Structure 1
Amino acid sequence: MTVALPASLADGAAEMRTWLRALHQMPELGYEEHKSAAFVAARLGEMGLEPVTGIGGTGVVAVLKGQGLAPPIGLRADMDALPIEEASGLDWASRVPGVMHACGHDGHMAMLLGAARHLTKAPPPPGDVVFIFQPAEETGAGAAAMIRDGLLERFDIPEIYGLHNWPGLEFGRFLACDGAQMAAVDRFDITLTGTGCHAAMPHLGRDALLGASQLHQLLQGIVARNADPLDSAVVSVTQVHGGEAYNVLPETVVMRGCTRSLSAEMRDLIETRMRGISTGLAASLDLKITLDYHRGYPVTQNSAKEAGLARETALRMLGPASVDPAPKPSLASEDFAYFLEKRPGCYGFLGAGPGPALHSPRYRFNEDLLPVGAAWWVGLAQRVALI
């Protein structure tokens, strides 16, 4: 898909590419983004903004004053990298062993910086624009940390928006759902304890492996028979550990995995049924079954009005074919969900075209996407959807 961009944003692509490549070479894990934060703060300062650092640990925030004709708006980019050894072959590959920007957060920072550069040179936007560079999206819940530090109140943010590059989605295509955009993802550890015995005398034991095999099947029944078939849920057992010998039934088996759901109600149902099934099977097989259920990020829930504004902004800034006409949510997770629990807003995907998947050691941010994402940010700040 061809995207027509304002000349000033297209002209800024080279600068954004330079920023991306610099950030890509110095990836940092969650809450360790000291160099990235310093880089971002320096660029914002060069634009005449006054960055505030240390929010949520290593977060950076800057405010561009508007005309007071519209409420403030929050625009967020994430900053952290992943513990992955890069295999992209790029000349500007990571210089940090075992750490890589494999999810494109370097590009997200560059796009938002590009939007800030454009907006600081343009007439004042209708309302204040709050540029948010957030730490620790991948595992550390940096959004929640920024909220605890008073981000939303301190900078008077009544609505907030986020954007993620999306390999596999047509280049320049914008996708935002009304309601669930990404899933709640939880982890579980299940320990089954019986009585170990020799395989020649199974009647002398209580078979934890038999229990694990039955439990695996019963857990799949949650989605097959307890969940509304029009809703989406996944229960995945991804690890089973037990036993060391060919001829001994183990005393203990450990199962691990994750669940994914697109509503709070489904999330609660899955946990409740997992606990009930574990209790019932333990009684049936005379085993001890312990379930440790660890809740992760909640559902990323777009508000309908703001999702509509986000889509209309894409239409105005990126062209009439830019918006996905039938958006579908992803069952991946995102800590932007914490912002959307506190404020209306929208989290969208921006198609990066074909290429290696996110979190792949061969992943490469599509640099052609930089001015496209920046244009969407600029359109939101300038409230083009309301004109």
Structure 2
Amino acid sequence: MEINMNIVNLKQYDHKGFFKLYQDTYGDPDHEVKLIRITPTFNSEYAIYYMKNENVVSIGAVREKKIRIFTEIEKVPMIFGVVTLPEERKKGYAGEVIKSIIQKLNSNHYDLAIIGPDPKNPKLITYYHKFGFEPFNNRHLVPFYSLFKKNCNIRKGGLEDVKSINQLFNDYAKIFKIAQYRDESFTTYRIKETFISGGGELFIFSFKNNKNENNNNIGGNEYKDYAYILIKHGHIIECVNMLQLSNYGFTEPLEDEDVIVIQNTLKEKGFSELLSIDMVPIASARPVKKEKEEVKYEDVPFTLIRLLNPISFIQKYFKYLNWSTFFSTDYKTNFNLNVKVKDDIIGDCAFNVKRQNGHLTFSTNTDNVNEKEKINFLSVDKEITISELLQKLLHEFLDYKQNDSFLVNDQFYFSENW
């Protein structure tokens, strides 16, 4: 469908209707919108809107994040705030916004883009798939009261708890085979970022630790932290729960009378805001054990990812890919494959991957090759869509056998629910 509209970005013309539509939809107060605008990660060039009769009818924007993939730090734009006026929806405007952002990010040499749709709206997952986005990972949502043990303690936390929750995060990340870990300076920043401008709270869960490392009773009244949740304006933005692990005392689900006791305790401590929480996210790297299946959970994608420059991305991470299994060939034999990647939004590209006498090479038709080789390169052995290529890359990365841990210096979205 052809859409005859003016496509503009905020860098070209700072139209007040852009953030009016954003605020009308998401309800952010003026001071939070101001924070968005002044943060270095927000680039007005990628804040796209469409004009119709001088009115802003559809918008989308980008904030830059950083992730670590193996040993590389990647700047990854996160698309957010995609919305259309209610009376102008289902006319293709939001789709044009997304395409325009993808094309602009591609032209500015980003390799990846991510988007975090509302997990309560699975139709959005299907919608973004049309634009080449794939779920990177799922999280489990379990009942809020699965965070509690009988006779556990809950307290409000602050910067004085950085060491404890940093250790919990790193234990959690290691056990669930997440390749990243945090230092205390990052965790400090994370808490400060949540508390800024109000509305942020940290709750820490603990239980009496009366057993040693060999699970022998030692007595005493020392409390051991086992979980925490970080909340902003009533929304959980980070949750770590070690009750998933048997050595932390993973118990059977609480009985109804136990839940009532917990509810009363929360009220007495002045933590009534927690009573409105229904579900909390847990790691999905390992499934819930079969004997605990009575703990109901649901899988929801929380981050979608798209390749923007597949050639550049593959060149960076070529050594992490087993190209024989990648294209279902025999690893012991030589192969020489010309691969075409189809992308309806950015445009198609092609590359060659070759194995000869145990040596793997990767090349493109933009490399320094003679004209004869360029002509031969046009003969395609395999054709694959951008989404299929991404699925294969993610599968290879998740299966990659490596023991290194990498320090997280900024927020990352590829491994868990934070």
Same fold (TM over 0.5): no
Higher relative contact order (CA 8 A, sep 6+): 1
Which structure has the highest strand share of the two?
2
Q: What is the TM-score with the length of structure 1 in the denominator?
A: 0.25
